[in-house]
Amino acid sequence: MESKYNRYILAGLTVLCIALMGVTMVTDQWLEPLRTGVGYVLIPIQSGVNKVGVAIYQQLSDYGQLKGAIEENRRLQTEIDRLTEENNRLSSQQFELQRLRELYALDQEYMQYQKTAARVIANDSGDWFQVFRVNKGSADGIQVGNNVLAGGGLAGIVTDVGAHYATVRSIIDDSSRVSAMALQSGDTCIVGGDLTLYKEGRLSISDIKKDGDVKDGDRIVTSNISTAFLPGILIGYAADITVDSNQLTSSGYLVPVAEFNNLQEVLIITELKETKDPTGETP
């Protein structure tokens, strides 16, 4: 008798889950109160545990890094000398650029977006997906579809928002697709995450037109025609570009600028691309 009831419960739950999946594939707006409610309980716990964990980890790694730091310091000093020199040169070029811009009335400036900083409080521990959670949410102006930056490059896109947290899918996730272009030549391409490349720290670049001029080491930025990503954000550098076997397109790899191994702080751009497609690119 007992097991018969259990079977009914199981059947009921199965139907419920499948129905929920069906409904949420179309829209999951109505889930936000639930997410926010659970968030009120979970986020303080996650933040707290994360703070303790980070503190301990920091202590350990600080000690380990002390030895390397001296050597690094010397190296950085020479780097500073070089950069100072370069900065002098660049700032004079900057003035020249400004003059030319005014001349051409070129008002499209990249990277002038409104940003807010957030701390990563939870990661997916399994290896199948590359998603993480940050401690800012809709109360701080974050919306689904906001672009996320880390270490000077694109890191991901917000896929879910609660009042005080947001879930971010990073660009190295297997299902991530970013419409991109080469900065020099303007040739468009698709930057996709791939689980089989992730351990080598690379992403895949595909769909470059065969006569497109993308060389190894070219800067790849988000493209103007992307539906979900604001234009001009640096993603990384192209590597090993080869012509595909179909002789129509080229493809290769991309070395991302953002470090994904130990993300702790990210910047979230609180502007949305105007097409407002929150689901990200479709391949």
Partner 1 sequence: MKRIAINLALIIIAFTIQNCVFPLIPFLSASPNLLLILTFSFGFMKGQRAGMFYGVLAGILLDLFYSGPFGFYTLFYVYVGYINGICTQYYYEEYITLPLVLSVLNELAYNFYVYVFRFLIRGRLNILYYLKELVIPETIFTVVTTLLIYRLLLYIGRWLTEFENRRDTTIV
* Parallel/antiparallel/unpaired status of strands 166-170 and 131-134: antiparallel
**How many Cβ atoms sit within 10 Å of the Cβ of residue 106?**
10
* Least distance in angstroms from the C-beta of 229 to partner 1: 17
Q: How far apart are CA 105 and CA 100, in angstroms?
A: 8
Among 118, 122, 150, 190, binds partner 1 (CB under 8 A): 122
CA dihedral defined by 65, 68, 69, 74, rounded to 10 degrees?
-170
Stretch that binds partner 1, among 26-34, 147-155, 222-230, 235-243 (CB under 8 A): 26-34
- Binding of partner 1 at residue 262 (CB under 8 A)? yes
Shortest Cβ 21–partner 1 spacing (Å)? 4
- Regarding 14 and contact with partner 1 (CB under 8 A), the answer is yes
**DSSP H or E stretch at residue 121:** strand 115-123
**Stretch binding partner 1 (CB under 8 A), from 82-90, 122-130, 202-210, 250-258:** 122-130
- 125 near partner 1, judged by CB under 8 A: yes
Q: Is 87 in the site for partner 1 (CB under 8 A)?
A: no
Residue 28 binds to partner 1 (criterion: CB under 8 A)? yes
What is the helix (H) or strand (E) element at residue 119, kind and residue range? strand 115-123
Which residues neighbour 195 within 8 Å (Cβ) at sequence distance 6 or greater? 127, 128, 174
Asked if 276 touches partner 1 (CB under 8 A), the answer is no
Give the shortest CB-139-to-partner 1 separation in angstroms. Answer: 18
Q: Can you spell out the DSSP letters for 149-213? A: EETTEEEEEEEEE-SS-EEEEETTSTT-EEEEEETTT--EEEEE--HHHHTTT-EEEEEEETT--
| Site for partner 1 contains 6 (CB under 8 A) | yes
Which string of b and e fits 236-273 if b means at least 16 CB within 10 Å? bbbbebeeeeeeebbbbbbbbbbebeebeebbbbbebb
Residue number, 39 or 236, with CB nearest to partner 1: 39
Q: 169-208 mask for partner 1 (x: CB under 8 A)? A: x----xx-------------------xx--x---------
Q: Which is nearer to partner 1, 20 or 80 (CB)?
A: 20
Whole-angstrom Cα distance, residue 12 to residue 97?
Answer: 67
C-beta separation of 186 from 208 below 8 A: no
Sole binder of partner 1 in the list 129, 204, 227, 239 (CB under 8 A): 129
Q: Considering only residues 123, 138, 143, 206, which one is a binding residue for partner 1 as defined by CB under 8 A?
A: 123
From CA 248, how far away is CA 283, in angstroms rounded? 17
What residue ranges bind partner 1 (CB under 8 A)? 2-3, 5-6, 9-10, 13-14, 16-25, 28, 31, 34-35, 38-39, 42, 45-46, 49-50, 53-54, 57, 121-129, 131, 133, 159-160, 167, 169, 174-175, 195-196, 199, 261-262
